[in-house]
């Protein structure tokens, strides 16, 4: 099916883009990689009157460490993350998540910011960012604000973004020299959305867990933080007992539903196994 007709604007500055959003409010939609928005428009689940293509705004496409955190501009593609040495070496949760997202075609076009703004409960970046305790930078013509990732996701396909706001970047705090993480994803076939995904991240201090991050994909109405599992690790050595307890608590935190991808019980068990596997990988690396 063809999308409903719309006006198309392609500003080259953020201020111009924000002015268009101000003028049209809910009738306008930001276009980033188009990998979620275009299919929705073709199915006529979305019929924006104005498309604001932000791909020409160069300042939104930067991936670098800046002022004590990792800055991922909203337009940074999944592919750029997959290729990033920085992510592979310092931000393992993100480096491992990137190549798991769909297939090369989607990864070439799809953006980190678009994925977060879309807030699909089966989106992989959401959990990776929760585990890394990220913050989201947002701009409107009246100013800017920073939203902790836990407050950004509000429900399935629902975020804290206002229609006149643009997500400009996601920032990840420096995990410290002694840290590690990974992302594990079960998919029915390569390129599929997650049956279950588990993101883990651990920063160590004096041989113990200083800060843990564990988040789940595809097993709830939004990406879920397994908070009790994180708390069970904080301040402890990452040993077998701690890992087993965290894995059990992560499985408890999941809210899976039986569907074509598997039963509720099966998915909950995958959460437990993946949490354990992810934490073991981190513990081995730390040793």
Ligand X SMILES: Cc1cc2nc3c(=O)[nH]c(=O)nc-3n(C[C@H](O)[C@H](O)[C@H](O)COP(=O)(O)OP(=O)(O)OC[C@H]3O[C@@H](n4cnc5c(N)ncnc54)[C@H](O)[C@@H]3O)c2cc1C
Residue 55 sits in the site that holds ligand X (CB under 6 A): no
Residue 216 sits in the site that holds ligand X (CB under 6 A): no
Residue 140 sits in the site that holds ligand X (CB under 6 A): no
Residue 224 sits in the site that holds ligand X (CB under 6 A): no
Which backbone phi and psi does 192 adopt, to 5 degrees? Answer: -80, 160
Three-state SS for 47?
coil
The structure tokens listed for 81 are 């993350």
Tell me how many residues contact ligand X (CB under 6 A).
Answer: 29
Among 24, 29, 171, 261, binds ligand X (CB under 6 A): 29
Residue 31 sits in the site that holds ligand X (CB under 6 A): yes
Find the part of the chain contacting ligand X (CB under 6 A) among 108-116, 146-154, 174-182, 257-265: 108-116
Could you give the C-alpha distances from 82 to 59, 99, 177, 198, 229, in angstroms and in order?
20, 5, 21, 18, 28
Residue 101 sits in the site that holds ligand X (CB under 6 A): yes
Residue 193 sits in the site that holds ligand X (CB under 6 A): yes
Looking at the Cβ atoms of 92 and 113, the one nearer to ligand X is 113
Query: Could you give the CA distance from residue 130 to residue 271 in angstroms, rounded to a whole number?
Result: 16
Tell me how far, at minimum, the Cβ of 186 lies from ligand X, in Å: 11
Could you give the C-alpha distances from 85 to 72, 91, 243, in angstroms and in order?
14, 9, 28
Residue 77 CB partners (closer than 8 Å, separation 6+) = 33, 107, 108, 109, 110, 111, 112
Tell me how far, at minimum, the Cβ of 256 lies from ligand X, in Å: 17
Give me the residues that bind ligand X (CB under 6 A), please. 29-37, 39, 74, 101-102, 106, 110-111, 113-115, 117-118, 120, 123-125, 161, 166-167, 193
């Amino acid at each position: 099916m063809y999308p409903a007709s719309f006006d198309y604007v392609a500003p080259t500055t953020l201020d111009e883009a924000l002015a268009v959003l101000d003028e049209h409010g809910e009738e306008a939609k930001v276009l980033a990689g188009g990998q979620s928005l275009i299919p929705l428009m073709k199915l006529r689940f979305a019929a924006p009157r104005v498309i604001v293509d932000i791909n020409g705004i160069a300042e939104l496409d930067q991936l670098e460490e800046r002022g004590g955190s990792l800055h991922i501009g909203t337009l940074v593609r999944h592919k750029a993350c997959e290729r990033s040495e920085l992510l592979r070496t310092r931000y393992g949760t993100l480096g491992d998540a990137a190549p798991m997202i769909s297939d090369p075609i989607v990864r070439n076009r799809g953006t980190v910011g678009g994925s977060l703004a879309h807030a699909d409960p089966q989106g992989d970046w959401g959990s990776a960012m929760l585990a890394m305790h990220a913050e989201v930078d947002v701009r409107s013509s009246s100013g800017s604000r920073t939203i902790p990732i836990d407050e950004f996701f509000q429900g399935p396909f629902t975020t804290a973004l206002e229609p006149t706001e643009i997500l400009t970047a996601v920032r990840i705090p420096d995990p410290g020299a002694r840290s590690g993480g990974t992302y594990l994803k079960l998919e029915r076939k390569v390129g599929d959305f997650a049956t279950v995904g588990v993101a883990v991240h651990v920063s160590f201090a004096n041989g113990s867990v200083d800060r843990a991050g564990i988040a789940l994909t595809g097993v709830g109405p939004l990406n879920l933080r397994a908070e009790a599992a994180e708390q069970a690790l904080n301040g402890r050595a990452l040993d077998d007992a701690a890992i087993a307890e965290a894995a059990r608590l992560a499985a408890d935190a999941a809210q899976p539903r039986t569907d074509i991808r598997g039963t509720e019980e099966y998915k909950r068990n995958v959460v437990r196994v993946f949490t354990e596997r992810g934490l073991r990988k981190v513990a081995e690396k730390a040793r």
